[in-house]
Amino acid sequence: MYRTLDDLVEAARALGPARIAVAAAHDPDVIEALRRARDLNLAEGFFVGNAHKILELARAAGLEIPTARLMHEPDDAAAARKAIALVREGTAGLLMKGKISTATLARAVLDRETGLRTGRLLSQVIVFQVPGFDRLMLMSDAAMNIAPTLEQKAEICRNAIEVAHAVGIAKPNVALLCALEMVNPEMPATVDAAALVAMNRRGQIKGAYLEGPIALDAPLSRFAAERKGIESPIIENTDIFIAPDIEAANILYRAILYFARGESCGIVYGARVPLILLSRAETPETKIRSIALAMLVEAHGRQSH
């Protein structure tokens, strides 16, 4: 079990350098992240996009790009298709988002003929660390699924559980976040949470222990849980936080970063390979850690099959 995000990077380095296809690679933060990843012997890039801009940014960052790893394709949709083709043919092992919208890249990934779809739901899984906690935690889904249905929430849980397994959490405790702990038919998130718990107990969602509906304070504070009369093994021992919709998840994620001074990395899970699809506001350090996470998840998937 890894305790810090830097532990993920060190573990990924031991796997040897990953080969990453970058769609629309003409982005300074992506170029800087790939330069650092190269210096760490963590990853090497295949750069698809506006070649003139890519070379200009690479020179400024001190990154040499061999001609064979630079592909000129200024159109975003075409760049996405080319980067995906590199993964499909085995030239690259991972896919990374550059200066391209998530929607454009996701459409290419989900293309039935030329994409990376598997039949699984795509969902974002974030791994984060917060001062005062001695372990890594996960959350989902702050980026991909706007108002997930019950079955989509089950898939979001399964995806997050598999990522947790890849970072060494053998049986994660999962909090299904809502505004309160009682099932209220007027609050559909509480009904869904109760159904997900039933699915977990009956083996439809495996490899973890689910608890919900539950508000955010109880999983984090034994005092709050006791005052509310909640007894559960997840109290002060929660590994995964599942939000009811994208808005709640995104607010929680930003609060972790900006109120709690947390740090994070993340991937989109459910495609043929983990996808490194990060906001343009994320730092190169976050991108490096996300590359490491993708490498560990990909390696774990190969070993599991």
Across the chain, mean pLDDT equals: 97
- Is 70 exceeded by the pLDDT of residue 48? yes
Mean pLDDT value across residues 253-276 = 97
Mean pLDDT value across residues 244-259 = 98
- Is 90 exceeded by the pLDDT of residue 284? no
Calpha distance 21→83 (Å, rounded): 5
- Is 80 exceeded by the pLDDT of residue 80? yes
Instruction: Identify the band that residue 281 occupies on the pLDDT scale cut at 50, 70 and 90.
Output: confident
- Residues 48, 113 within the same domain: yes
Query: Are 248 and 177 contacting, i.e. CB atoms less than 8 angstroms apart?
Result: yes
- Residues 111, 127 within the same domain: no
- Residues 136, 204 within the same domain: yes
- Residues 71, 129 within the same domain: no
Calpha distance 256→278 (Å, rounded): 16
In a domain, 300, yes or no: no
| Side-chain half-sphere CA neighbours of 78 within 13 A | 7
Instruction: Identify the band that residue 305 occupies on the pLDDT scale cut at 50, 70 and 90.
Output: low
Q: Where are the alpha helices (DSSP H) in the chain?
A: 5-13, 28-39, 51-61, 76-88, 102-109, 150-166, 188-201, 217-220, 222-227, 246-258, 284-304
- Given phi > 0 = left and psi -120 to 50 = alpha, else beta, which region is 46? beta
Structure tokens at 75: 């159109």
Number of domain units in the chain = 2
In a domain, 78, yes or no: yes
- Is 80 exceeded by the pLDDT of residue 3? yes
What is residue 162's predicted lDDT score, i.e. its pLDDT?
98
- Residues 249, 275 within the same domain: no
Instruction: Kindly report, residue by residue over 128-145, the tens digit of the pLDDT.
Output: 999 999 999 999 999 999
- Residues 100, 183 within the same domain: no
In a domain, 275, yes or no: yes
- Residues 104, 221 within the same domain: no
CATH at 252: 3.40.718.10
- Residues 129, 56 within the same domain: no
Instruction: Kindly report, residue by residue over 9-24, the tens digit of the pLDDT.
Output: 999 999 989 999 999 9
- Is 90 exceeded by the pLDDT of residue 194? yes
Q: How many percent of the chain have pLDDT more than 90?
A: 95
- Residues 100, 24 within the same domain: yes
Question: Any bridge partners for residue 43, and if so which?
Answer: 18
In a domain, 295, yes or no: no
In a domain, 205, yes or no: yes
The overall pTM is greater than 0.75: yes
In a domain, 301, yes or no: no
Q: What are phi and psi of 241, to 5 degrees?
A: -115, 120
In a domain, 263, yes or no: no
- Residues 41, 67 within the same domain: yes
What is residue 283's predicted lDDT score, i.e. its pLDDT?
86
Three-state DSSP at 177 gives strand
Domain boundaries, position 230: 123-258
How many C-beta atoms surround the C-beta of residue 172 within 10 A? 24
In a domain, 40, yes or no: yes
- Residues 51, 110 within the same domain: yes
Instruction: Kindly report, residue by residue over 162-174, the tens digit of the pLDDT.
Output: 999 999 999 999 9
